[in-house]
A = this chain, B = another copy of it.
Amino acid sequence: MSASTSGVVDGEPRETNVVTAIRDALHDEMAADDRVILLGEDVANRGGVFRISAGWMDEFGPERVIDTPLAEAGIVGVAIGMALRGLLPVAEIQFADFIHPAFDQIVSEAARMRYRSNGAFGCPMVIRAPCGGGIHGALYHSQSIEAFYAHVPGLKVVMPSTPADAAGLLRSALRDPDPVLFLEHKKTYRAVKGPVPDGPFLVPLGSADVKRAGTDLTCISYGYALHTCVEAASRLFDDEGVSVEVVDVRSLAPLDTDTMFTSVRSTSRVMVVYEDNRTYGAGAEIASTIAETLMFDLDAPIVRIGGPDIPAMPFAAPLEHFFMEPEPDQVYRRMRDLAAF
């Protein structure tokens, strides 16, 4: 239900949305520690295309809030250098779809620095990237990229679904000695509201969270799709009394299999729901690890719902709508069928 399940919480909660929670947490971190540097396209002069850093160039100075050239490999590569010299860079990629030019710097450099130097050097840095669709962003402002990066040893990948998780995970990411890819689903930015504890509370990396308790089946999801699942679960409970436990993965890498396995053992039915292209998506790993470990605990085949295998979301409303499975209705139907299996 909230980050309190596994986070260290202090202060009075405040109701806010995801983008504000991210802004506030990052602001506090920057105010508290001048090693924290924000760099990216349009983050300074304009305060970010999502206005997360509006006013910060004046507040923290242009040395700490840096408008970079249009060059993602350079942004990540420069951030790696900063991290190697004692700073704590937050590299903002304007849209996750544009992170691809930095693939080599992230995979070959940031994620391998510690391993290849046998522990001598490390890259404490956060790469923030707004991802996901449903906001009329078309093919190149809608992509899900988590599957590419969750596969990379040496890199941590998280995607919060609530304001509290966003704030708590961002703080943990900034305190982590290794590189963290922090994915922000754009559709949660303003649409998802919730309480955020007031203090500098943390949500540990590598921890999943039960967002809705239930007994009949386990639904595992993350990002915006998580809310689709919670909504479907609550309708299904109201309609037919089916009790669905919804687990929020939160951390794609490392994956908290304990929390998932515990839930699946108790319900014996499981579905995995994600927005990304279905085939070779992150849900494959989740389904697969459950199949290996809990096969004989299951009363029904694992259900996996992912986006269609087309290159991201088209622009035209009818086409975008077609992609934005998992829609609540589809998830609802498959939940009901799975419970009845």
Binding site for B on A (CB under 8 A): 73, 97, 100-101, 103-104, 107-108, 111-112, 115-116, 139-140, 147-148, 150-154, 253, 255, 277, 279-285, 287-293, 295-296, 298, 300-304, 309-312
Q: Which of B277, B279, B293 sits near A255, CB closer than 8 Å?
A: B279
CB neighbours (8 Å) of A139 from chain B are: 112, 115-116
Interfacial chain B residues near A150, Cβ < 8 Å = 279-280
- The complex places the Cα of A282 from the Cα of B310 at a distance, in Å, of 19
CA distance A103 to B108 in the complex (A): 12
Residue of B nearest to A150 (CB): B280
Complex interface: chain B residues within 8 A of A152 (CB)? 311
State the number of copies, please. 2
A296 proximity list for chain B (CB < 8 A):
301
- Please tell me if the beta carbons of B311 and A111 are within 8 angstroms of each other in the complex: yes
Query: CA A303 – CA B108 in complex, angstroms?
Result: 30
Residues in B neighbouring A107, C-beta threshold 8 A: 100
8 Å CB contact of A112 from B111, B283, B311: B311
Cβ B104 vs Cβ A151 within 8 A? no
Inter-subunit contact A293/B285 (CB<8 Å): no
CA distance A103 to B100 in the complex (A): 6
Are B100 and A277 in contact, CB atoms less than 8 angstroms apart?
no
- Whole-angstrom distance between the alpha carbons of A11 and B280 in the complex? 38
Which of B115, B277, B287 is close to A153, meaning CB atoms less than 8 Å apart? B277
Q: Which residue of B lies closest to A97 (CB)?
A: B108
A287 vs B312: C-alpha distance when bound (angstroms):
24
A302 contacts across to B, CB distance below 8 A: 288, 291-292, 295
Chain B residues with CB below 8 A from A104, complex form: 100-101, 103
Contact A287-B291, Cβ < 8 Å, known A97-B108, A147-B151, A301-B296: yes
Tell me, rounded to whole Å, the shortest Cβ–Cβ distance linking A275 to chain B.
Answer: 14
Flag if B108 contacts A309 (CB, 8 Å): no
Give CA–CA (A108, B102) in the complex, Å: 13
Quick one: given A100-B104, A139-B116, A301-B296, are A279 and B253 in contact (CB under 8 Å)? yes
CB-CB < 8 A to A73: which residues of B?
Answer: 101
Chain A to chain B contacts (Cβ below 8 Å), 30 pairs: A100-B103, A100-B104, A101-B101, A101-B104, A111-B311, A112-B139, A112-B311, A147-B151, A147-B280, A148-B148, A148-B151, A150-B280, A151-B279, A153-B277, A153-B311, A154-B311, A253-B280, A255-B279, A280-B285, A284-B287, A284-B289, A285-B288, A288-B288, A288-B304, A292-B302, A292-B303, A293-B301, A295-B295, A295-B298, A295-B301
Most chain B beta carbons < 10 A, residue from A111, A291, A304 = A291
* Complex CA–CA separation, A199 to B154 (angstroms): 46
Find the residue from A151, A152, A301 having the highest chain B CB count within 10 A: A151
Q: How far is the CA of A107 from the CA of B277 in the complex (A)?
A: 13
Q: Do B281 and A151 touch (CB < 8 A)?
A: yes
Find out whether the CB atom of A288 lies under 8 angstroms from the CB atom of B282.
no
- Known contacts A100-B108, A104-B103, A115-B311; decide if A151 and B292 are in contact (CB<8 Å): no
CB nearest to A272 among chain B residues: B288
Chain B residues with CB under 8 A of A289: 284
Once bound together, how far apart are the Cα atoms of A151 and B296, in whole Å? Answer: 29
Cα–Cα, bound, A253→B116 (Å): 31
**CB-CB < 8 A to A255: which residues of B?**
279
